[in-house]
């Protein structure tokens, strides 16, 4: 069960397997007991002695993985990886189907979907990010079909990775999309209520409180939260890598995150300027940037960005623009050309991000995502001015 570097295969999946083992035995007292979980991991997984994880996931995650914990670790890992690959494939296929200008690029899209670095890390680490991608993908289609409440339900399911929902919560509150907010709150509340029903008398408010205390304890400890900072891709770790100390990086993170959210809020408030596909892409990029905790495997949620933005850019090629639209504000070839370059580089950035970030202390993916947010904001402003003329 060890790879060529001596690491346990599945890596993070071992933690989910341990949580599932707790779910099987209904021992809610062990949900946030690090020592108890380390013993369970060593007992149930061959070669896992000494592996310890900080229990950051909410209680319902233990119930989700309980069925897999009834199997041997190797079997459970294979099933989970196949499931994750299937979810990712279905999300990409569904999005590709609504990108008419990519229909004739089937082989290229398939190759790039397989080669996306975020998927590689998702499979290697055995993480749950495919579920987050499914939530974001479902929310996009519900918004596209004018079903805001169901979009909120899909986004509320992100409560198992709450850091990924910060940007969405802000945007829909800013837009006063109360149906989306209501759906999200209901979905999250139902998820957090499930453990009380499942664990019965063994469960108490102490488990949920313990989860919140754990989250609060690591929120200000970057070293504990991100043991491999060069593999993190958010503004929080960008500043922690670049600037020494604790207070200054945190302040810079808050300021830069607020700027990103302000730009995205401006994009979403200009609905007539850009289509939903572009606005939603900006939301996904912002979700990555402002997340206080985000590792390379979570970049899988950017898969819709590459599909949706590529389709939109192809639609804005000179031959795709009606001949009567001669205004440079409408065609904006310079803006789309820059966006193409940023997308190309961002696709590859996770592969080089680790070594480059270690040597230079600069995470290039964060720079590229910030530039992409700015380009989308500038395009929305440009289109709004064009509509006004």
Mean pLDDT confidence for 112-126:
94
Query: What pLDDT is recorded for position 6?
Result: 76
User: For residue 1, is pLDDT > 90?
Assistant: no
- The answer to whether 130 touches 158, Cβ cutoff 8 Å, is no
Burial class (CB in 10 A: 0-12, 13-18, 19+), 338: middle
Q: Which residue has the higher pLDDT, 149 or 218?
A: 149
Residue spans of the domains in the chain: they are 13-388
Judged by phi (left if over 0) then psi (alpha if -120 to 50, else beta), residue 146 lies in left
pLDDT at 221 over 70: no
Q: 255-286: per-residue pLDDT in tens?
A: 999 999 999 999 999 888 899 999 999 999 99
The 10s digit of each residue's pLDDT in 44-67 is 988 778 788 888 888 899 999 999
Identify the H or E element spanning 202.
none
**Mean pLDDT of the chain, nearest integer:** 87
Instruction: Give the residue-averaged pLDDT of 6-25.
Output: 90
* Distance of alpha carbon 384 from alpha carbon 362, whole angstroms: 34
For residues 300 and 329, which has the higher predicted lDDT (pLDDT)? 300
The span from the CA of 91 to the CA of 136, in Å, is: 9
The whole-model pTM stands at: 0.90
Query: What is the mean pLDDT of the segment spanning 327-333?
Result: 47
**Is residue 384 scored above 90 in pLDDT?**
no
- Phi and psi dihedrals of 8, rounded to 5? -65, 130
Q: What is the pLDDT of residues 188-197, one digit of tens each?
A: 999 988 888 8
Of 251, 301, 7, nearest in space to 130 by CA: 301
Q: How far apart are CA 384 and CA 271, in angstroms?
A: 9
Residue 320 has pLDDT above 50, yes or no: no
Contact 54, 34 (CB under 8 A): yes
* Other Cβ atoms within 10 Å of 173 Cβ, number: 14
Position 309 scores a pLDDT of 96
Band of pLDDT at residue 326, cut at 50, 70 and 90: very low
Sign of CA dihedral 356, 362, 366, 371: negative
pLDDT of residue 291: 94
Q: pLDDT band for position 213 (50/70/90)?
A: confident
Instruction: pLDDT band for 216, please (50, 70, 90 cuts).
Output: low
**pLDDT band at 351; cut points 50, 70, 90:** confident
φ/ψ (deg, to 5) at 100: -60, -30
Of the pLDDT bands very low, low, confident and very high (cuts 50, 70, 90), residue 323 is very low
- 162: which 2 tokens? 């709450």
pLDDT of residue 319: 46
How much of the chain exceeds pLDDT 70, in percent? 88
pLDDT at 231: 86
pLDDT at 173 over 50: yes
Distance CA 42, CA 19 (A): 13
Split at pLDDT 50, 70, 90, the class of 236 is: very high
């Amino acid at each position: 069960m060890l790879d060529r570097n001596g690491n346990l295969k599945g890596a993070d999946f071992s933690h989910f397997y341990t949580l599932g083992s707790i779910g099987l035995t209904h021992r809610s007292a062990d949900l946030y007991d690090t020592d108890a979980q380390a013993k369970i991991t060593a007992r149930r997984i061959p070669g896992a002695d000494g592996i310890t994880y900080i229990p950051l996931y909410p209680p319902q995650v233990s119930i989700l993985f309980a069925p897999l914990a009834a199997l041997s670790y190797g079997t459970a890992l294979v099933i989970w990886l196949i499931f994750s690959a299937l979810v990712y494939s279905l999300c990409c296929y569904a999005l590709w189907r609504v990108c008419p200008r990519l229909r004739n690029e089937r082989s290229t899209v398939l190759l790039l979907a397989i080669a996306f670095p975020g998927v590689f890390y998702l499979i290697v680490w055995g993480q749950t990010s495919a579920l987050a991608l499914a939530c974001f993908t479902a929310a996009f289609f519900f918004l596209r079909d004018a079903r805001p409440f169901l979009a909120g339900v899909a986004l509320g399911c992100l409560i198992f990775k709450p850091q990924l929902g910060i940007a969405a919560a802000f945007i829909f509150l800013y837009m006063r999309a109360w149906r989306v907010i209501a759906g999200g709150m209901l979905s999250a509340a139902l998820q957090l209520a499930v453990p009380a029903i499942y664990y019965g008398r063994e469960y108490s408010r102490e488990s949920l409180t313990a989860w919140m205390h754990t989250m609060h304890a690591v929120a200000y400890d970057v070293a504990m939260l991100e043991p491999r900072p060069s593999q993190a891709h958010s503004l929080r770790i960008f500043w922690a890598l670049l600037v020494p100390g604790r207070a200054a990086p945190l302040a810079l993170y808050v300021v830069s995150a607020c700027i990103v959210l302000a730009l995205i809020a401006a994009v979403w408030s200009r609905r007539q300027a850009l289509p939903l596909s572009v606005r939603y892409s900006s939301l996904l990029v912002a979700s990555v940037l402002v997340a206080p905790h985000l590792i390379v495997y979570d970049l899988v949620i950017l898969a819709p960005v590459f599909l949706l933005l590529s389709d939109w850019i192809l639609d804005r090629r000179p031959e795709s623009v009606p001949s009567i639209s001669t205004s440079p504000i409408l065609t904006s070839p310079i803006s789309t050309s820059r966006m193409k370059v940023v997308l190309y580089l961002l696709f590859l950035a996770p592969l080089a991000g680790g070594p480059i970030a270690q040597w230079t202390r600069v995470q290039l993916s964060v720079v590229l995502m910030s530039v992409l947010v700015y380009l989308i904001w500038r395009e929305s402003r440009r289109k709004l001015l064009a509509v006004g003329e």
